[in-house]
Structure 1
Amino acid sequence: MSAALAREVAGLYAGASRFARGYVSGKLRTDPASRVVLERAAGKPFGMVADLGCGRGQLGLALLMAGRAREVVGLDRDARKIVEAQAAAARLPARFTAGDLTADSVPDCDTALLIDVLYQLPAEVQRPVLAAVAARARRQVLIRAFDPARGWRSALGLAMERAGRLIRGDSNAIAPLPMEELAAPFRVAGFAVTVTPCWEGTPLPNVLLAAER
């Protein structure tokens, strides 16, 4: 992502807290998922985007500001982040809703994004969500996932996630599904699936699963 676009999107959060502004700017400038998603949208705009687990919404707003999405619908369980996303999107075709990610909450869309969200859900919730996304995304799905089969990267990533949850007092599960299990619903629905590393500059086992029609 260009520095100019990152600054422009971060400027939308002028009314948010200093921490939120710094977080948004940092994610856009340094997170490899932000760069990869924007690059993929450059050749084929994403149309109507469902950003599931959107956080503060900065990735969807970056797609809109770059002219690479027509509309964005975001969902996140953190109501405080959703308030910040809604304020930032005041003059853009985007709407953000607070709520849990379930099969019933997945909207019809052209492109679905699930960035760093699935492995934080119980496995029994992930499976119906994946099936719903495969049924409702018309063009493509991009998932930045935690791959549990990446050796030392996976071991280190699990240790870091558990330590972070202990510090925050977060009791949410860490349940990364195998890549083949993530891919299966999309292959059944007629998508072509690829999995590539998305951990640039980090020791983490993050990968990008792309399912395309």
Structure 2
Amino acid sequence: MPLAQPLPLHDLPALYRSVATRYREGTRTGRHFVPSKLKRDPATAVVLRQAAATPGGFGHVVDLGCGRGQLSLALLLAGLAERVSGYDLDMVRVQDAQRAARGLPAEYAAADLSRPELPEGDTLLLMDVLFLLPEPAQHALLAAMAAAARQRLLIRTLDPDAGWRSAVGLWNERLHRTLRGQPPFGLRAMQLPRMQAVLAGLGFDSTVTPCWEGTPFPNVLLVATRRG
């Protein structure tokens, strides 16, 4: 698939509709969730623009904790990824992604991210997962991602030092965990300088971009690029 030119904002709604159309045969939740998530989550546009600004795009994208796969499929349909491999623990969401990916160079499967080795790819995505893990598991996952990424890592996480936004974000995550029947505590958002230092030790230089436009949350996107 040829790569698209960098995407101006007025083209994004058409792309989002194209992605959402692929979920019409999926679960009722997926049909409603995907178009809303694409439009309302500021990270969608930030990641797409990051890919559009990267020479050659993101190549083979490995989407860890992919959920229903709408972000990595958006990259693929925009011509900003050559191939997608997505993994998630929730098999219902994975099945939605599998249906949506029919006919595309994309595969989705159920997998546990705590395993020590991850599939290799040019770009590894990890969106809203890291802070859900215990701190030792976070370090192990970062090391596994660094070993598997040929070029870059994109990690969306919470900034614990963003003042009132951090308080709102942690409260929101605890609420959602409670509604899902999960323990509301145990969230461990790693401080961003600490995460960048860990990645630097693994051979990656990184930058952090806010991903909270239009929301009260402390979401940020960390982009780490392999040195050399």
Query: TM (normalized to structure 1)?
Result: 0.95
Alignment partner of 1:87 is 2:87? no
In the alignment, which of 189, 192, 201 is matched to residue 202 of structure 2?
189
Alignment partner of 1:28 is 2:38? yes
**Uncovered stretches (5+) of structure 2, i.e. residues with no partner:** 1-8
Alignment partner of 1:137 is 2:134? no
User: Following the alignment from structure 2 to structure 1, what is the Cα–Cα distance between the partners of residues 33 and 97?
Assistant: 13
In the alignment, which of 148, 153, 160 is matched to residue 165 of structure 2?
153
The code of the aligned residue for 1:206 comes to N
Structure 1, residues 64-94: CA drift from partner, whole Å, max 9, x if none? 1111101111111111000110111111111
User: Following the alignment from structure 1 to structure 2, what is the Cα–Cα distance between the partners of residues 62 and 161?
Assistant: 25
Post-superposition shift, 1:35?
Answer: 0.4
Post-superposition shift, 1:103?
Answer: 4.3
User: Following the alignment from structure 1 to structure 2, what is the Cα–Cα distance between the partners of residues 195 and 43?
Assistant: 16
Alignment partner of 1:73 is 2:85? yes
Structure 1, residues 135-187: CA drift from partner, whole Å, max 9, x if none? 22111111111111111111121122222222221137312111123222321
The 3-state SS of whatever aligns with 2:116 is helix
Alignment partner of 1:209 is 2:222? yes
Alignment partner of 1:170 is 2:182? yes
The code of the aligned residue for 1:18 comes to R
Alignment partner of 1:11 is 2:21? yes
The code of the aligned residue for 1:79 comes to M
Alignment partner of 1:39 is 2:53? no
Identity %: 50
Query: TM (normalized to structure 2)?
Result: 0.89
User: Following the alignment from structure 2 to structure 1, what is the Cα–Cα distance between the partners of residues 90 and 197?
Assistant: 29
User: Following the alignment from structure 1 to structure 2, what is the Cα–Cα distance between the partners of residues 12 and 149?
Assistant: 38
User: Following the alignment from structure 2 to structure 1, what is the Cα–Cα distance between the partners of residues 212 and 117?
Assistant: 29
User: Following the alignment from structure 1 to structure 2, what is the Cα–Cα distance between the partners of residues 113 and 120?
Assistant: 15
Contact 1:106 1:129 in 2 (8 A): no
The code of the aligned residue for 1:154 comes to S
User: Following the alignment from structure 1 to structure 2, what is the Cα–Cα distance between the partners of residues 106 and 25?
Assistant: 29
The 3-state SS of whatever aligns with 1:72 is strand
Partner residue in 1 for 2:212 = 199
Q: Quickly say closer, same or farther: Cα 1:188–1:103, change in 2 above 3 A.
A: farther
Contact 2:116 2:140 in 1 (8 A): no
Partner residue in 1 for 2:126 = 114
